[in-house]
Every structure is written in C-alpha cells, then in structure tokens.
Amino acid sequence: MKRSLRSWLWRVPLDQEFDEEIELHIEMRTRELVAGGMDPRSARAEAIRRMGDVAAFKRACVDLGKKRDREIRMTLWLEELRDDVRFAFRQLRTAPAFTLVATLTLALGIGANSAIFALVDATLLRPLPYPNPERLVTIWEKSTGTAKGFASPPNMLDWGARTRTFEKIAGFTPSVGQMVVAKPDGSAETMSRQWVTAGIFDVLGVPPIAGRTFTADDEQQRRRVIVFSEGLWESRFNRNPNIIGHEVKLDGELWTVVGVVPKDFEILGNTSMWAMRPFVNMPPRARAAYILQVVGRMKPGVAIDAARSDLEAVATGLSREFPDFNTARGVTLEPMHDTMVGSDLKTTSMLFLGVVGFVLLICCANVANLLLARATARTRELAVRSALGAGRRRIVRQLLTESVVLALIGGAMGIGVGAAILRIAPVFIPDGLLPGTVTLQFDMRVVAFCAIAAFVVGVLFGIAPAWQATSFSSPEVIGADSRTTTGGGGRMRSLLVVGEVATAVLLLFGAGLLLRTLMAVEAFDRGFKAQSVLSMLVDPLGSSYPTPEKLQGFFDQVEAEVRAVPGVQDVAWSSGVPLGDSLFGDYPQSYEIVGDPPVDEARKPRADYQVVSSTYFSTLDLAIVAGRGFDERDRRGSPRVAIVNEAFAKTLGGRDPIGMQVSFKPADSTSAKPTTVEIVGVAKQVKRRPDEPKDFVQMYSPLSQDLSDDMIILVRSQTGRASALTPSVRAAIAKIDRDQTVGVASVTTLEDVEWQATGRHRFRAVMVAAFAGLALLLAMVGVFGILAYSVQQRMRDFGVRRALGASSGDVIRLVAGNAIRVIAAGAVIGLVAAALTGRLIVSMLFGVQPLDFWTFALVTLVISVTAVASIAGPAWRAVRIDPAAVLRSK
Amino acid sequence: MAKPQPPLKSPNGLLHGALDALILKTLSRGPKHGYAIARFIEETAGDALLIEDGSLYPALYRLERKAWVEAEWGTSELGRRAKLYRLTAAGREQLASEMATWKKFSSGVAKVFAT
C-alpha cells in the first residue's frame, strides 16, 4: 500500500531527487576524506572522482525511476479497476430486476447491431477473395441506353487483344442457368451452371484444387469442357479425384470435367459448375449479342484511370471499324468489388446500419434512464462516500465502471442475440441481393464489434447519470429525508424520453414509407397474371435446325406436344418475361412512324422489342385493348405486323395506332436496315421492373416473323401448381427432340420471378418495420419507466390530494399530463425530422412520396395508441392510491 | 522486466546481481542512505570489492522498481534531507534466496578448488 502511495505523495521530480542524493553523497565523502587529513578542495575533487560517470548514472536512474512510477500508477489503476468492477458486480446483484432489464435491453440493441455489422462487413468491408483484388475491374459496354451494359463476345476479345493496361480480360454470363444432368440410371436432374469464357479463372487468379482450368487450346478446339465447384465435388463425388477427365452427360451432350475450383469462386454466381463457351469464328452479328459480363485484371501498378483511357481508345477504334454495331458504343470501368456489391446492397446496408444505430441509441437512453432513477435512490450512499473522502472523479469513475460492466454483460448476451439473428436471417434475404455465396458469418470481427460497441455504449449511457449523481452537496443530502431528493434528475429523464420517442417516430415513419412502397409494388396492376405460369428457357443447341423452317417446326411441335400434357391450359413462346430478364438483354429499337416528318436518328423514340408467339397474350392473361392479337395470318413471308403497348400508343398524340406503319431498327446502329411493320393491335401495359418509375414503350413481334433460337416457353397450368408440370413438360420436349439436343434451362414459375422482383422491397420493409417496432417498444418502456417512477415518488402527494377531495380524473390528468407533453414533444420532433430526412430514402421508394400524408397519419395514430397503453398502468396505480394508508405510512 | 540493463561501470567486474545482493544484505540491518550503504560495504569488504560510488544508485533504483527496497525522505547525520532506503518483505525474501544460491555456488567452487 505504501508503495502504491509513492507516486502520489512523492512530489519531487526524478532528476532533482537524484541530484540531491548524489550531492549528499559527495558531501559526506568529502567530510570523511577531510577527517582523514585531506585539504577540503582536493577532498571534494577526490569524492567526485570516486563517484564515476555521474551523467551516465543519472540517465540510468531517471530512466528506471520513470518506469517504476509508470508501473506503480498502472498497478494502482488496475487495483482500483478491480475494486470498482467487484463493487459494480455487487451493486448489480443487489438490484436483479434493474440488471435484468438493462442487460436485456442492451443485448437487443447490440445484438441487432452486430447482425447488421456482419452484413456490412461481409459485403462492403471485405475485399474480394481473390489475389490482388484491387487489380480486378469490371468492364461494361456503354451505349446511349445504358452506361453499364453487357458486352458482346467479339468486343470482349478485341479489348483483350488490343489493351496495353490489362494482363487479361475474360467474361461470364451474369445469370446462372440450369443444365440437365443425365444420371446412370436413366433419370435426369437439373443443376445450376454458369457460362464462362476460357480465361476467367486466370483473370480472377483462382487456381484449381484438382485437375486444371480452361485453356486457350480448349477454346480453339471448341472442346466441351466443364469445371466443377468444390461444393459439388464434395457433395456429389466425395472429393474423388478420378472424376477429372470423366465425361458427364449435360443437356444431352457429353462434357469433360477438367478440374475443380475452390468455393471462393462461387462469388460470381451461386452455382455448382462452370461450362466454357468458346468464342471463335463467330458470325459478324455476334457483335450485337450483348451477353457477357466482362472482368479484367490490370497489370501491376496500373491505375484504373489509365486503364479507362486505354480501353476507351480501344473502343473508339472498334466503333470506327464496326460502324454497323459499335457506333456510339464505349466502355465503363469500375472496380469489381463495386460491381459485386452493387449500389442496391450498399444503400440497403447503410439504411439498416442507420436504423439499428438509432435502435441502439434508444437502448442507451432507456438504460441511462434506469440508471438515473437508481442514482436518485443512491444519492445518500454516494453522498456518504463523498463525505468519507472519495473525490468526484473517483465516484464518477466508479459509476462509469458500473455502466461499462453492465454494457459488457449486455454485449456478451448481444453476441448470442446477433448469432441467432444471423442464423434465421438468410430466410429473409432475397436471392440476388448478396453477391454469390457471400455468407453471413459470426466470426471474431463481429465479436470484436460487439465488445467495442458495448464499451462505447457503456460510457455513453453512463456518463450523464454519473455526472448527475455527483452534483450534490453532501451535508444537505445526508441530512435530508430521502423522499425529497427527486430533484433535477427528472428533467434529464424527460429529455431522454423525448429523444427516444422522437427516434422511434422517425424510424416508424421510415418503416411506414417502405411498407407503403411494398404495398404499392405488390398491388400494382402489372397487366398480366403471374399465377400458375411455368417458364423454361429452351435452347435448341447445335446445328440441328439450320433453316428458319426447321426451327419454326421445332417450336410448333414442342408447343403442340406440351399443350397435350394433362393439366396444361395454355402454351406460348417469348423472348422475355415481364419482371424477368430479357434474352435480348438491353437492346432497344429506335422507331419512327412512316409518313411522319423524319426525325434525326439521335432523337428518335425508342422501344423495347419482344418476340412472342400468338398465344402469349392468352397465356399471361394479358389483354389486347385495341385491334387484334397475332394469329395464323401472321406467317413467315406475310406482311410484317406488330402489337404495341399502351405507352407506345400514348406517344402518338391521340391518333389511332391500328393500321399505322412503323419503321424500326436497332438503336445506335447506323447501317442496319430498318424493318417496317404494320400495327395491328394494342396490348395492355406490363411492368418490366416492379418499381419502374415510368411506363416503358414496347413492341411485340410475332415469333413466326422473327425467329431466334433461344426462347422461353411459358406454360399456364389448369390447376394452379405450375411447378408440378416441370417433369411432364420436360418429357414432352424430349419427345420432340430424341437426341436431347434441347437444352432446357432456367426453370422457374412467373410467381417466383415476381416474388424475386419484389424481394428487396419486402426485405427492406420487413427489416425496417421490425426494428421500428422494437424502437417503439423500447421508447414506450421508457415512458412507462418515468411515469411509474414518478407515481411511486409522489404517492404521498397523490394521497394528500385525494384526501383533500381530488377526483380520479384529477389524478389521471396529473399523471398523464406530463407524459403526454413528453410524448407529444417527441412525436413532433420525430415527425419534423422525418419530413426533413425523408428525401434520403427516396431512391428506395415507389408509388409514395417522402411526405406521404397517410404515413404521417398512421404514425401519429400508432404513437397515440401506444402512448395510451404506456400511460394506463401508472395512471391506474395513482388512481387506486388509498389516501389513508399512504398518509399513515409516514 | 527482462529488459537489458543500462551499462554500468564496475571496475573489478562485480556482477549486477552480486551488487544487488550486497545492497540487500546491507539494508537488512536497517534503513540507510546511499553513502551509508557505500561506507558499510567498504568497511566490511575492505579493498576486496572496489566499486564506483555512483554505480550504487542505478542498483538502488533497480531494486526499488522491483519493490525489494522502498525509499522515503529522512534526515541525514548532517541534518539535511536524505533519501533513506529500506528493505521490504519481498526484498528480505529475495536476500534469503540469493544468499542460499551464493552459498551453494561458493561451496561448489570451493570443493573444485580444493582438489
């Protein structure tokens, strides 16, 4: 103990301490030598000589002394901390109800935050799991329609051949399709696969864990080669290395398995295998097939700006060489990490982070309130400690230790809450929101986040109560009756609750807007019925159908065969599905009405172009609002016709579209010959995306007059369960093509497409609503807390009032009055904040304005109802006070 | 604590550990200031152990850091303020163990020399 006091009591600076010691030593030695007969002057010189190198010794001593003092202070600090922590635990044990409520509140807040942190960490913070990920860049093909379009294979190859800043460039198809895997017993199943170009594994730097990846030779030889994912290799082949070199029958063709790549690679698409698509000797029109997402690895030391100007120059060259296809087409570069994360995920993550941050603040306010109430009760204890010599700093530190201990317990429980949230969260996360197989995991980073959050939170909610609790004058407090010490804490507690209510209202408002968006998206009339329609991508592979007649024959036969399947109501072909991907990608047509004054190419209107069979409209229950649908008159060779949608018709300024001649050609192409068609009908408007801000302009062309070889077959079921038809429809297709050269892929129902398209709205709305509900609950617990406490404190007051004739109504008014002021202030502040900040989430809204009246009204209603609920209990208690009993009690 | 010690001069190569032990032994007879410790060692050991006076102090600071001795201000024979060093309980234990080690060491050496 003496030792630990040293640094506090010993006020002499270290170097002075040393000098004094040495001086005394020299003096005493001098005296000794003088006593031995030396003259004083030489005695002192001798004494100094015998000291040795004093400067060196002084340095050593001051150094040692500094270390010693530091260690002493540290020990002292640790000892105090240990005492404080021990005392804190004892304090918390004496108030188990308080401890339970406070730690549970914190566990909820910290748990929710840790789960959202895991989401943000997995997506925004971590680099891509490839070597030197900063050198990976996504290269989009830029057109007048979009800055980030997919690239055509010939363009990708030319970029790779002409660039000076990239090591290598490769591509993959963004969507994951299905392949039919023939099993030895004759049955078949579908597995997900993704098309890639030969160099993709080299670009990403993924080495195979068995066998090899694709080579340029594979591509030149047009080999049918495939690479398995580690997951598939493990689950299906038990990591058997003999699978390498084996052939598997996929979509009726034999493919050679050349290698296996690690799980990390699945980030491109959540799939189990990658099939190489060779791009050699492509026909010229392939330059207009925008199907690849392209990624390049920059050479070491190249900045993305340099790569951008390099590729822009290459693209300019290509525009000159291929004016038919590449006019006005350029490139857009962005770091691959940005592509993988996507702006949608980024905004969603930031939204959630903000929301849970607010929830945590409310938790803090609640616990701070509990602490304030306790501090009031503990005023006497603290005053006594202060009177016994504990300084204010010391008491504040003790109280802060208590709150940090409380927060750390809450944080430890929060780890459990967060882990539980992460366990059930994947159910609610829509497909495609997270890139590839990014999994949410609860690892040390999240635990560390919890610990730091708990510590910060502990200081945050502890500091105000600690300060409050120590601002007293001890003689006054010790002498006073405990009932009169309700003082200033009350105002701070009310302010905290006002803040809580305001925050909860703000969150409720955000949740309301997102829920209204979800309702708008779901209730929106999309113009067609998605229920019980099965959709499959049919891809007649190979060269079995060289002529348009043969291809048409194939489509007709399949349609007839599928129509004969029991349970099938209608069958149609289409190049795209509403809300889903279009097989043509982003490929708008520019058009003009024949007979209208000519318009400059750049200013021509644009329309989306969809090829459908005549039964498309009946299959999707899509109404023809004017004119006729397609029928057997619209054959190959007969005059070309088209159906336009309502948005198209609206552009005509009131003229009747039926009978008009429209001339169109691919937008941005200078040399493509325009096609002229006659409008025979107007179809109802459909949505291409569920939250499209503007109706899009569309033209339909009959399949018979514009054949293409990849088509989606749409099958409407009579019974409703569309997916149940999958095997029989597939069998019917196989009947037509006995060699199984029909690749059936992308089996899904339109309901699934629809569900997925609205998934992110649902995810956001559900999550934010859940957190806002939690916030509201916590805020009302806060209101309830101060009310119950003040009723408790004013028992005697109420008793006297009742005794003097106050009615129940008077008492209720007294109790509720303050609460209503607090809630109203909070609600007004919250609504004003909501009105001011609503613009921040406008990009996530659809069909609702940030200042939506109904949301305002609904939030006000919700807050009023919950306010009444939280006031009712304490008010009831105050009414039931028995004046006689209270007055007798003291 | 396993940091390299600052270089100290000790003319006859007296080991740090040995000097520390001597100081502890000296202080076992009661609190002393630096000069008194130096005098005591001179008088008891005669000329056998010659140390620079100054080298005593780093040793004392080191011992204080290890909490084997503690310091307090007292009054010297000259009536001046003097820093007095006192052996702590831990220091006493350390002294006992060092003396035991030394005894074993010296008797071993003596046995070898006696052959």
Q: How confident is the model at residue A297 (pLDDT cuts 50, 70, 90)?
A: very high
Cα gap A56→B54, rounded to integer Å: 9
pLDDT at A458 over 70: yes
Please choose, from the candidates A167, A278, A130, A177, the residue with its C-alpha nearest in 3D space to the C-alpha of residue A218: A278
Written as tens digits, the pLDDT of chain B (115 aa) is 444 444 444 444 456 678 888 899 999 988 998 899 988 888 887 766 667 888 889 999 989 888 899 888 888 777 778 888 999 999 999 999 988 988 888 888 889 988 7
Q: What is the pLDDT of residue A161?
A: 93
Candidate from A177-191, A246-260, A851-865, B44-58 with smallest mean pLDDT: A177-191
Q: What are phi and psi of A744, to 5 degrees?
A: -100, 120
Among chain A residues, the shortest Cα distance to B1 is held by A67
What's the rounded Cα separation, in Å, for the pair A837 and A496? Answer: 21
Contact A60 B34 (CB under 8 A): no
For testing contact with chain B, the best of A4, A57, A69 (most B CBs within 10 A): A57
Q: Which of B34, B58, B67 sits opposite A64 (nearest CB)?
A: B58
**Checking DSSP bridges between strand A742-749 and strand A533-540, what pairing results, if any?**
antiparallel
How many Å apart are CA A390 and CA A471, to the nearest integer? 14
A25 touches B at CB < 8 Å: yes
C-beta atoms of B55 and A54 within 8 A: no
In a domain, B1, yes or no: no
pLDDT surpassing 80 at residue A387: no
pLDDT on residue A413 = 92
Residue A484, pLDDT above cutoff 50: no
CATH code of the domain covering residue B105 = 1.10.10.10
A865 contact B CB<8A: no
User: With contacts defined as CB-CB under 8 Å, which chain B residues touch A57?
Assistant: 8, 54-55, 57-58
Averaged pLDDT, A825-835: 89
Distance between CA atoms of residues A511 and A505, nearest Å: 10
% of chain A surpassing 70 pLDDT: 85
Best B65, B73, B77, B85 member to test A by mutation, with max A CBs in 10 Å, is B65
pLDDT digits (tens, 9 = 90+) for A853-887: 888 888 889 888 988 888 888 888 888 888 777 77
Cβ within 8 Å of residue A798, ≥6 positions away = A791, A811, A814, A878, A881, A886
Residue whose C-alpha is closest to residue A716's, from A479, A488, A531, A519: A531
| Mean pLDDT computed over A23-29 | 90
Q: pLDDT at position A333, please?
A: 94
Rounded to an integer, what distance in angstroms lies between the CA atom of residue A42 and that of residue A778? 85
Q: Would you say residue A133 has pLDDT above 70? A: yes
Give me the number of domains chain B comprises. Answer: 1
Q: Which residues of A187-221 are buried (b: 16+ CB within 10 A; e: fewer)?
A: ebebbbbbbbbbbbbbbbebebebbebbbeebbee
For residues B10 and A60, the answer to whether their CB atoms sit within 8 Å is no
| Residues B31 and B24 sit within 8 Å (Cβ to Cβ) | no
A763-811 confidence digits (pLDDT tens): 888 888 888 888 888 888 888 877 887 787 788 888 888 888 888 888 8
The angle formed by the CA atoms of residues A361, A367 and A372, to the nearest 5 degrees, is 120
Counting Cα atoms < 13 Å in the Cβ hemisphere of A888 gives: 5
- In a 10 Å sphere around its CB, with 0-12 CB exposed, 13-18 middle and 19+ buried, how is residue A414 labelled? buried
For residues B34 and A32, the answer to whether their CB atoms sit within 8 Å is no
Spell out which residues of chain A touch residue B70, defining contact as CB-CB under 8 Å: 2-3, 6
What's the confidence (pLDDT) of residue A740? Answer: 42
User: Is residue B6 domain-resident?
Assistant: no
Write down the pLDDT at residue B76.
Answer: 77
Q: Which residues of A touch B62 (CB under 8 A)?
A: 64
Long-range contacts at B59-63 (CB < 8 A, ≥ 24 apart): B59/B8, B59/B16, B59/B19, B59/B20, B59/B23, B60/B23, B60/B34, B60/B85, B61/A60, B61/A61, B61/A64, B61/A65, B61/A68, B62/A64, B62/B5, B62/B16, B62/B20, B63/B20, B63/B23, B63/B24, B63/B91
In angstroms, what CA-CA distances link A624 with A529, A615, A784? 14, 12, 60
pLDDT tens for each residue of A667-699: 666 666 788 889 999 988 887 666 666 777 888
**Cβ of B105 under 8 Å from any chain A Cβ?**
no
The pLDDT > 90 percentage for chain A reads 10
Give me the interface pTM, i.e. the ipTM.
Answer: 0.84
Kindly state whether residue B11 falls inside one of the protein's structural domains. no
pLDDT of residue A9: 55
pLDDT tens readout for residues A588-606: 778 888 888 887 776 778 8
The closest of B62, B56, B63 to B35, measured between CA atoms, is B56
Residue A613 CB neighbour total at 10 angstroms: 21
- Range of B65's domain? 16-114
First-to-last C-alpha distance (Å) of chain A: 46
pTM exceeds 0.95 for this model? no
CB pairs under 8 A between A and B: 84
Helices (H) and strands (E) counted in chain B, each on its own, are 4, 2
Phi, psi (5° rounding) for residue A225?
Answer: -120, 150
Q: How high does pLDDT run on average in chain A?
A: 81
For A505, residues 6+ apart whose C-beta sits below 8 A from its C-beta are A826, A827, A829, A830, A831, A833, A834, A859, A863
pLDDT 10s digits, A135-160: 999 999 987 667 788 888 899 999 99
The answer to whether the beta carbons of residues A68 and B64 sit under 8 Å apart is yes
A386-400, A412-426, B27-41 — which is least confidently predicted? A386-400
Q: Which two tokens stand for residue A177?
A: 């399709």
CA distance B104 to chain A (A): 31
Exposure string over A475-495, b if 16+ CB within 10 A, otherwise e: eebeeeeeeebeeebbebbbe
Looking at the complex, does the CB of residue B8 fall below 8 Å from at least one CB of chain A?
Answer: yes
Least confident of A97-111, A425-439, A547-561, A642-656: A425-439
**b/e map A706-726, b = 16+ CB within 10 Å:** bbeeebbbbbbbeeeebeebb
Domain ranges of chain A: 2-81, 133-341, 533-752
A1: pLDDT strictly greater than 60? no
Confidence of residue A183 (pLDDT cuts 50, 70, 90): low
Q: Has residue B2 been placed in a domain?
A: no
Distances (CA, A) of A556 to A540, A615, A660: 13, 12, 29
- With beta carbons less than 8 A apart as the criterion, state whether A274 and A211 touch: no
CA atoms within 13 A on the CB side of A658: 10
Q: Identify the residue among A17, A27, A28 best suited for mutation to test binding to B, counting B beta carbons within 10 A and taking the highest.
A: A28
Which pLDDT value is given to residue A175?
65
In contact, A331 and A142? CB cutoff 8 Å? yes
In this prediction, residue A269 carries a pLDDT of 67
